[in-house]
Structure 1
Amino acid sequence: MGELVSGSQRGLLRTVDVARESGYSVQQVRDLERLGVIPAAARSSNGYRSYTPLHVHALRAYRGLAGAIGPVAARQMLARLRTETVAEAASAINAVHARLAREREEALRAQRALRAIQAEADATECEHESEAMTITELAEALRVRPSTLRFWEQEGLVAPERVTSLRARRYGLPAIRAARIVVALRGAGYGIPAVREAMDALRQLDGPGEAQRILRHRVEEIATRTVGLLRAGADLATVVESGQAPATG
């Protein structure tokens, strides 16, 4: 990637210069300008676009933001950063870092819970293969309501091993383990659709081991998003400081 200093010395930049400096293609630069990610380029009498180094900073900043919070939210946030005070913009960026830290802690907490579940299952499965729990007993053990277990059953997350003629539910060890995994994932902040996807994968693949793989991937993905945001820090600062007056009061 070229140095922006050389671009500054030349004055205005061509689309190809911006593409080279930002890591986007020429068409992507035009598309992102159309979407409002960067301010509109100046146009010469013959219609050619002219950019400044600030456009490059904005594109680099967008790359980090898009990786951290998604492209749509990044476009909206970058537009706000160009109009907010320095204090307001800094607060918004801090909130993204805090969100990533919270997501990481939730995933790590779920990993710890799953390791405890697996260790307990390994220690007790052989001794208690015939044990089962009623819906009331399982709800009490998980500290959830029986209605929550019924809702999870409707959503395909946890199913009792049998329902008696009186419609009394009985949960064996596999169902109990599945319910505890659902509790761990829900406690980590996963919504019902994400939990359903994870539980479907568990049934098809490697049980709790697959859940750990899913969570390890999530921790790694959060780390990648965080590093991308950190790498974009200087470019975000340039965008925030460009033409913005500091907050007063």
Structure 2
Amino acid sequence: MGRNLQNGDRLRPVDLARGHGLSTQAVRNYEAAGILPAAGRTPHGYRTYTSLHASALRAFLALVPGHGHRTAASIMRAVNRGAVDEAFRLIDESHAQLLDDRRTLRAVESALRDLEPTMAPGHGAGPELAVVPGAGGTFIGPLAGQLGIRPATLRKWERAGLVRPRRDPRTGYRVYDEADVRDARLAHQLRRGGYLLEQIAPLIVQVRAAGGLEPLEAALRDWHGRLSARGRRMLTGAAELEAYLRAAGGVNQAAVQPT
């Protein structure tokens, strides 16, 4: 979609910029990046834009909140070079990522529900866990046994940052405190759900940052809200992109008419 697609009233760069709260340099940068169709030029070499450029800019700015700047830019570049299917593929990937994020959230919530009985106040670590005298923790063997995994698995989780046991100064053995047990249980639930270690690690970080499972409830509500907001922003972006495709298609309609 180049100059032959421009139509409507002429707009100066400053008109296009002010109408969208941008600087004229930002508009020029977007054009140079292929986010906007190429501008027309006056006999004196000044750029001129049209309502089509304004529609392209609205589409891009609407796509950014839902898809991110890089993906939104890639979508617009694909549309402007006529690769609409490529643009749709990029949009599909963003929606797939959103769906995956929703599944991850559900998995975390399910894992936390499974942990609630064992992590309830006064429940303790459970009879299967051998408490280290004077240290307030459990060794790797009893914890692995309770979870039904091998000690080597816990060591692998430690290397991935999922658990952070300390070392007993007398024996050098790993000692898992209450927070470590919680993190190990959560990691175990998520692994059973098919999640990879690299997917689990940032979730464990969120649990630690929240200070435990109960404070994490607020974080989960916020997570729900952010996912819903992202979904709505994607809808807004899709509407503006459709408007731009219609505007560009109307200009280029003769080129696709059957002969």
Give me the TM-score of the superposition, normalised by structure 2: 0.70
Match runs of 1:182-193 below 5 Å: 182-183=187-188, 191=199
User: Using the alignment, how far apart are the partners of 2:56 and 2:39 within structure 1?
Assistant: 13
Does the CA contact (< 8 Å) of 2:12 and 2:47 recur in 1?
yes
Q: Per-residue CA shift, 1:179-203, capped at 9, x if unaligned?
A: 223456776676466346435524x
Structure 1 SS opposite 2:162? coil
Identity %: 33
Match of 1:28 in 2: 26
- Of 112, 127, 138, the match for 2:110: 112
- Of 46, 49, 69, the match for 1:71: 69
Q: Cα gap change, 1:81/1:156 in structure 2, threshold over 3 Å: closer, same or farther?
A: same
Match runs of 1:197-208 below 5 Å: 197-198=205-206, 200-202=208-210, 206-208=211-213
Structure 2 portions without partners, runs of 5+: 1-6, 131-137
The residue type equivalent to 1:152 in the other structure is W
Match of 1:121 in 2: 119
User: Using the alignment, how far apart are the partners of 2:82 and 2:228 within structure 1?
Assistant: 28
User: Using the alignment, how far apart are the partners of 1:147 and 1:39 within structure 2?
Assistant: 57
Give me the TM-score of the superposition, normalised by structure 1: 0.72
Number of aligned residue pairs: give it: 235
- Of 134, 153, 164, the match for 2:158: 153
Q: For CA contacts below 8 A with separation 6 or more, give which structure has more relative contact order.
A: 1
- Of 230, 234, 241, the match for 1:236: 241
Does the CA contact (< 8 Å) of 2:167 and 2:175 recur in 1?
yes
Could you say what the CA RMSD is over the residues aligned between the two structures, in angstroms? Answer: 3.7
Structure 1 portions without partners, runs of 5+: 1-7
Regions of 4+ moved over 6 Å: none
Does the CA contact (< 8 Å) of 1:64 and 1:225 recur in 2?
no
Deviation for aligned residue 1:46: 3.0
Q: Cα gap change, 1:117/1:193 in structure 2, threshold over 3 Å: closer, same or farther?
A: closer
Q: Per-residue CA shift, 1:69-105, capped at 9, x if unaligned?
A: 3212321232123335555543442332232122123
Mark the structure with the bigger radius of gyration. Answer: 2
Match of 1:17 in 2: 15
Structure 2 SS opposite 1:232? helix
